[in-house]
Chain A
Amino acid sequence: NAGVTQTPKFQVLKTGQSMTLQCAQDMNHEYMSWYRQDPGMGLRLIHYSVGAGITDQGEVPNGYNVSRSTTEDFPLRLLSAAPSQTSVYFCASSYSDGPRDEQYFGPGTRLTVT
């Protein structure tokens, strides 16, 4: 049971490039989400999904796309990278949407956009 996995661990992009951050979970969780972590700002929700085929925007969705074709995978796409997207990105999953259900986080992807 690997939990939540993310690839890559580190990435450097040039402004304007696109890329996909991968996230997968093997716990059969319905709910998955992407956060970005910036110094002094905690974690902010980018996009989330309540099940395969269903996604919605979080607090800071601009510049990012997501899709959920399977229960296991929830990739995050950066369409045209900007320096403001330099951050640490975390994927998380949980069994359901109740407050009693713990979110499980991946180890993070550290992205630098130059």
Chain B
Amino acid sequence: GNSVTQMEGPVTLSEEAFLTINCTYTATGYPSLFWYVQYPGEGLQLLLKATKADDKGSNKGFEATYRKETTSFHLEKGSVQVSDSAVYFCALMRKTSYDKVIFGPGTSLSVIP
């Protein structure tokens, strides 16, 4: 079946450090891939997305590339800030089924000054 695996953390980084949060998926066909971010006390917000292989999603300095050969969608940022402290969720969506949005368990990131 479809599934999403991501490092659970928590991840603690110093400000301006490089961030990578790994995400790999298992799915039939060619799903769309997403990263959502949840700031403390809030709901999830879409951070970026990619809908086909080799697409790169980017937003707010974050990037992720849809790698079909490795079934991965790793999230990266070159220089994190304290304001990036949040929980990050990788997710996939099958293109033919609205109800099949699968979320990973989330990765908690804390950035310290």
Contact = CB atoms under 8 A, between A and B. Distances in A.
A33 B46 CA distance: 16
Contact of A43 (B41, B46, B103): B103
Contact of A40 (B45, B46, B98, B105): B105
A106 B32 contact: no
Contacts of A108: 42-43
A34 to B, nearest CB: 12
B98 A90 contact: no
Interface in A78-108: 90, 92, 97-100, 102-103, 105-108
Contacts of A98: 95
Interface in B36-66: 41-46, 49, 51
A107 B42 contact: yes
Interface of A: 4, 31, 33, 35, 40-45, 48, 50, 56, 58, 90, 92, 97-100, 102-103, 105-108
B105 A41 contact: yes
A99 B99 contact: no
B25 interface: no
Contact of B43 (A33, A97, A107): A107
Given A43-B44, A99-B32, 10 more contacts: A40-B105, A42-B103, A50-B98, A92-B43, A99-B94, A99-B95, A100-B51, A103-B101, A105-B45, A106-B43
Contacts of B41: 107
Contacts of A90: 43-44
Contact of A102 (B46, B89, B98, B105): B46
A42 B43 contact: no
B43 A99 contact: no
Contacts of A100: 32, 49, 51
Interface in B92-108: 93-95, 98-99, 101-106
B103 A40 contact: no
B98 A48 contact: yes
Contacts of A43: 44, 89, 103
29 contacts: A4-B43, A31-B98, A33-B99, A40-B8, A40-B105, A42-B4, A42-B89, A42-B91, A42-B104, A42-B105, A42-B106, A43-B44, A44-B103, A45-B99, A45-B101, A48-B98, A48-B99, A90-B44, A92-B43, A92-B44, A99-B51, A99-B93, A99-B94, A102-B46, A102-B49, A103-B46, A105-B44, A107-B42, A108-B42
